[in-house]
Structure 1
């Protein structure tokens, strides 16, 4: 592992830098991640505005942020599978399909959370 001997605040700074590199890489290379980020831009203020209580705001925001988080994991799994080999393999396909399903479940969670909070307000 890189920088194993780094301790304290320097380790935190290195970790932050690597995280920013990962976000930048995913944003540049993954269309789905870019789409999700662009959707977050209007939805985050909307979540803060539509949530009546701090708990509602936390659920609306949290459900939004889970989607790109799972997309990052999906992209990492896909990159790792592609690094191992580009030929078709049942296990590679299964890993990618399962990671994609996790993204779908996170989007479903977001939609259901928003619906459960917002639909009763308008009925």
Structure 2
């Protein structure tokens, strides 16, 4: 049971490190707070809230994975290498794709409530 509980502590440390070291994680966190506040004032349905939480969690999880990839690449090589660049760029691209999809989902959920 001790190892199981420690895994939560390690995971929390990873999340804290992601926020401390990553400016992108901070901007995603700020965006999440803004969306949650907007949701409170908009009167979202239960399903809309579930979608919002899944999207926020997805962006943050991908950003944490992107940070992990960057750390591993930096650990393996301090010199420029084209494959190291590709690994970092592709990891960052995955976050970007999901963030764009999240913005579109946000528009689909919020625009009809604000402008409809």
1:108 aligns with 2:100: yes
Tell me if the contact between 1:48 and 1:61 (Cα under 8 Å) persists in the aligned partners: no
Of structures 1 and 2, the one with the larger relative CO (CA 8 A, separation 6+) is: 2
Question: Gapped runs of 5+ residues in structure 1?
Answer: 1-8
TM-score, normalised by the number of residues in structure 2: 0.88
Tell me which residue corresponds to 1:38: 30
1:25 aligns with 2:17: yes
Q: Which moved more, 1:36-45 or 1:99-108?
A: 36-45
Tell me if the contact between 1:48 and 1:57 (Cα under 8 Å) persists in the aligned partners: no
Structure (1 or 2) with the larger CA radius of gyration: 1
Higher normalized helix content (fraction of residues):
2
Once superposed, what is the RMSD of the aligned Cα atoms?
1.6
Question: Gapped runs of 5+ residues in structure 2?
Answer: none
TM-score, normalised by the number of residues in structure 1: 0.83
